[in-house]
């Protein structure tokens, strides 16, 4: 059906699959802006409780066969199929339905919209950008696909106008992630865009890296012209810059470690000290709490964008030095004693080869453990199969890699038969990375109990529920010294 390009303001909205980070964040934001909002989800969660506290009525359980009486637009998450009963109910009544990405694009219209894109680092950079904007008085609205305590969760509704600085009284700032899967970021209406990096991923949807680059190029073309305030910040290296920026009418600036970048980033990994130069002139420096060169780049991008929005670099540097991190991104969960053995436990969302490699290197550099043990749960059989050789080279910083069963999501049953966790283990061993396949979470926890040594750093890694291993391991001792939930 033809999709709406009308405002959502004042409408009666029903969200199908409302429990996800993006959907719930958008629902709460639109509720606070005066929309009547209801929703449904198959599973109960803490997020459903938060929605209820915001005055949003959510039906939990099997799909409804009918919709709330006043509904005039249905918004469906990316996981919802067109044959979902609530979508069919909307169609039978002539009620319009749109995707989450389309609804987000409609919400961006009339705002100073900042869309954060890239194969990696979207959630971290979105959270950093939002935190800096808050601390610098820009009062941004935010939708981020992870929980960040400093943002009050994963969403906030800010001012309808920029309250301070040289852009005061311009439309309010909305910062959100721009996901390339299913080309959903083509629905965005950005004023400022960031492209952090571009690599092979989502190859169950895209046929090649070239098609992915083309999709990012189409995203960049959504930016308004330089005369209309459109700006693109793009990585000097790793983002196929020349192909992306060709023919763009918006202002373009580059950032990265290269001296050729417009904004050169300098990083001292031992002190986690980050500096930024603009065309060779120092403009800011701060200490990052999140380790690793990749987070130095994320932080620099967040700083540059906020400076474009009117924040002063001195204030930006202070705010970046205060950013503590977000859930499941190099997150310190705690430490525990087993007899006289002390073990530190971390968790990370990394599920792409580059993310895994950079996270492990950063943890080793920041904490210098005697042994670094990684429990990596591959996410999707198709991703594991397409990127198997890249994964095999990504764990050299680990002293041992334990691989449970692959997390099955979105793929077909046929895809499930084409690759296994043992295939990854075999590739790792071939490259002299000690690895083993232990299928169940319970068996992995038992292995850690019996094999942990003093000075070990254990990190659970993956986009699935692998963090439960870390939580179970820590909970087995009354002597566990639990972390603050932030980066250590």
Please count the structural domains in the chain: 3
Do 57 and 126 share a domain, yes or no? no
Asked whether residue 82 is assigned to any structural domain, the reply reads yes
Do 355 and 435 share a domain, yes or no? yes
Asked whether residue 2 is assigned to any structural domain, the reply reads no
Residue 179 maps to which CATH number?
3.40.1190.10
- Contact by Cβ (8 Å): 195, 118: yes
Q: What pLDDT is recorded for position 151?
A: 79
Asked whether residue 7 is assigned to any structural domain, the reply reads no
- Contact by Cβ (8 Å): 256, 232: no
Distance of CA 119 to the CA centre of its chain: 10
Give mean pLDDT, residues 298-311. 97
Residue 10 confidence class, pLDDT cut points 50, 70, 90: confident
Which residue is it, tokens 């069963």?
Answer: 405
Q: What pLDDT is recorded for position 4?
A: 44
Could you tell me which residues come within 8 angstroms of residue 244 by beta carbon, excluding any fewer than 6 positions away? 195, 198, 213, 216, 217, 220, 234
Q: Flag whether pLDDT at 5 surpasses 80.
A: no
The H or E element containing residue 441 is helix 441-451
Q: Flag whether pLDDT at 487 surpasses 60.
A: no
Asked whether residue 403 is assigned to any structural domain, the reply reads yes
Strands (E), 225-352: 231-235, 251-256, 263-268, 273-278, 281-287, 331-338, 341-348
Q: What pLDDT is recorded for position 53?
A: 86
Residue 205 confidence class, pLDDT cut points 50, 70, 90: confident
Do 356 and 312 share a domain, yes or no? no
Do 80 and 42 share a domain, yes or no? yes
Could you tell me which residues come within 8 angstroms of residue 25 by beta carbon, excluding any fewer than 6 positions away? 142, 143, 144, 154, 155
Q: Flag whether pLDDT at 254 surpasses 50.
A: yes
Which residue is it, tokens 């904004």?
Answer: 263
Q: What pLDDT is recorded for position 7?
A: 78
Q: What pLDDT is recorded for position 349?
A: 86
Residue 442 maps to which CATH number?
3.90.190.20
Residue 400 confidence class, pLDDT cut points 50, 70, 90: very high
Give mean pLDDT, residues 2-28. 81
Q: Flag whether pLDDT at 480 surpasses 50.
A: no
Q: Flag whether pLDDT at 326 surpasses 90.
A: no
Strands (E), 149-227: 153-156, 173-178, 192-195
Q: What is the pLDDT of residues 344-394, one digit of tens each?
A: 999 998 888 988 998 998 889 888 899 999 999 999 899 899 889 999 999
Residue 89 maps to which CATH number?
3.40.50.720
Q: Measuring CA to CA, which residue among 169, 71, 173, 162 is closest to residue 112?
A: 173
Q: What pLDDT is recorded for position 3?
A: 42
Q: What pLDDT is recorded for position 150?
A: 79
Give mean pLDDT, residues 322-346. 84
5-9, 130-134, 382-386, 420-424: least confidently modelled range: 5-9
Do 294 and 341 share a domain, yes or no? no
Give mean pLDDT, residues 85-91. 93
Q: What pLDDT is recorded for position 50?
A: 85
- Measured at the alpha carbon of residue 360, what is the angle toward residues 354 and 366, in degrees to the nearest 5? 130
Do 20 and 164 share a domain, yes or no? no
Q: Domain boundary residue among 69, 100, 131? A: 100
Tokens read off for 262 = 């417009």
Q: What pLDDT is recorded for position 173?
A: 97
Q: Domain boundary residue among 42, 70, 100? A: 100
Helix axes 293-308, 313-322, angle to 10 degrees: 140
Do 261 and 343 share a domain, yes or no? no
Q: Flag whether pLDDT at 481 surpasses 60.
A: no
Q: What pLDDT is recorded for position 430?
A: 95
Residue 426 confidence class, pLDDT cut points 50, 70, 90: very high
Strands (E), 48-202: 57-60, 73-76, 96-99, 112-117, 141-148, 153-156, 173-178, 192-195
Do 246 and 339 share a domain, yes or no? no
Q: What pLDDT is recorded for position 478?
A: 53
Q: What pLDDT is recorded for position 6?
A: 63
Q: Domain boundary residue among 301, 322, 343? A: 322
Do 471 and 375 share a domain, yes or no? yes
- Contact by Cβ (8 Å): 114, 90: no
- The CA radius of gyration of the chain, in Å to the nearest whole number, is 23
What is the percent of the chain with per-residue pLDDT over 70, rounded to a whole number? 96
Do 340 and 287 share a domain, yes or no? no
Residue 432 confidence class, pLDDT cut points 50, 70, 90: very high
Give mean pLDDT, residues 120-131. 92
Do 190 and 275 share a domain, yes or no? yes
Asked whether residue 4 is assigned to any structural domain, the reply reads no
Q: What pLDDT is recorded for position 164?
A: 95
- Give me the chain's average pLDDT, please: 90
Q: What pLDDT is recorded for position 483?
A: 52
Q: Flag whether pLDDT at 2 surpasses 50.
A: no
Asked whether residue 5 is assigned to any structural domain, the reply reads no
Asked whether residue 416 is assigned to any structural domain, the reply reads yes
Give mean pLDDT, residues 76-100. 91
Higher per-residue confidence, 482 vs 51: 51
Asked whether residue 277 is assigned to any structural domain, the reply reads yes
Q: What pLDDT is recorded for position 479?
A: 44
Q: Flag whether pLDDT at 486 surpasses 60.
A: no
DSSP string, 379-414: B-HHHHHHTHHHHHTS-TT-SEEEE-PPB--SS-HH
Do 251 and 337 share a domain, yes or no? no
DSSP string, 88-127: HHHHHTT-EEEEHHHHHHHHHTTSEEEEEESSS-HHHHHH
Using a 10 angstrom Cβ sphere, with 0-12 exposed, 13-18 middle and 19 or more buried, the burial of residue 450 is: exposed
Task: Tell me which residue range forms the domain holding 58.
Answer: 12-100
- Contact by Cβ (8 Å): 363, 338: no
Q: What is the pLDDT of residues 128-174, one digit of tens each?
A: 999 999 999 999 999 887 777 877 777 888 999 999 999 999 999 99
Strand order in the sheet with 231-235: 153-156, 141-148, 173-178, 112-117, 192-195, 231-235, 251-256, 263-268, 273-278, 281-287
Q: What pLDDT is recorded for position 488?
A: 46
pTM as predicted:
0.83
């Amino acid at each position: 059906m033809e999709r709406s390009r009308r405002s959502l303001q004042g409408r009666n909205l029903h969200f199908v699959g409302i429990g996800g980070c993006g959907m719930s964040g958008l629902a709460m934001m639109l509720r606070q802006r005066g929309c009547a909002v209801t929703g449904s989800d198959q599973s109960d969660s803490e997020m459903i409780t938060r929605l209820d506290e915001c005055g949003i009525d959510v039906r939990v359980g099997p799909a409804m066969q009918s919709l709330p009486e006043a509904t005039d637009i249905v918004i469906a998450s990316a996981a919802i199929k067109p044959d979902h009963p609530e979508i069919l109910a909307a169609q039978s009544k002539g009620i319009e339905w749109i995707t989450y990405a389309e609804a987000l694009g409609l919400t961006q219209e009339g705002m100073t919209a900042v869309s954060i894109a890239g194969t990696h680092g979207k959630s971290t950079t979105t959270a950093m950008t939002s935190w800096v904007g808050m601390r610098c008085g820009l009062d941004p609205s935010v939708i981020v696909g992870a929980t960040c305590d400093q943002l009050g969760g994963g969403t906030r509704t800010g001012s309808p106008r920029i309250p301070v600085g040289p852009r005061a009284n311009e439309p309010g700032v909305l910062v959100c992630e721009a996901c390339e899967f299913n080309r959903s970021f083509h629905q965005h209406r950005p004023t400022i865009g960031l492209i952090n990096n571009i690599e092979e991923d989502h190859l169950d949807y895209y046929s090649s890296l070239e098609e992915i680059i083309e999709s990012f190029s189409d995203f960049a073309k959504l930016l308004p012209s330089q005369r209309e305030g459109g700006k693109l910040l793009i990585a000097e290296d790793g983002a196929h810059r020349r192909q992306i920026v060709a023919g763009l009418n918006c202002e373009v600036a580059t950032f990265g470690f290269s001296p050729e970048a417009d904004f050169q980033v300098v990083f001292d990994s031992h002190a986690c000290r980050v500096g930024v130069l603009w065309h060779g002139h120092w403009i800011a420096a701060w200490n990052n709490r999140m380790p690793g060169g990749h987070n130095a780049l994320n932080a620099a991008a967040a700083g540059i964008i906020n400076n474009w929005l009117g924040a002063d670099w001195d204030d930006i540097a202070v705010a970046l030095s205060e950013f503590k991190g977000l859930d499941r991104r190099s997150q310190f969960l705690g430490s525990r004693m087993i007899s006289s053995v002390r073990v530190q436990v971390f968790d990370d969302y990394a599920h792409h080869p580059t993310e895994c490699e950079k996270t492990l290197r950063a943890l080793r550099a920041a904490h210098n453990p005697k042994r670094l043990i990684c429990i990596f749960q591959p996410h999707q059989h198709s991703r594991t199969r397409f990127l198997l050789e890249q994964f095999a080279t990504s764990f050299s910083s680990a002293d041992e890699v334990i691989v449970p069963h692959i997390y099955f999501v979105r793929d077909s049953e046929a895809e499930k038969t084409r690759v296994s966790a043992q295939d990854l283990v075999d590739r790792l061993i071939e490259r002299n990375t000690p690895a083993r396949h232990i299928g169940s979470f319970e068996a992995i926890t038992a292995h850690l109990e019996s094999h942990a040594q003093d000075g070990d750093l254990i990190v659970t890694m993956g986009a699935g529920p692998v963090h439960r291993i870390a939580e179970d391991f820590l909970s087995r001792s009354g002597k566990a010294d639990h972390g603050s939930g932030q980066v250590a």
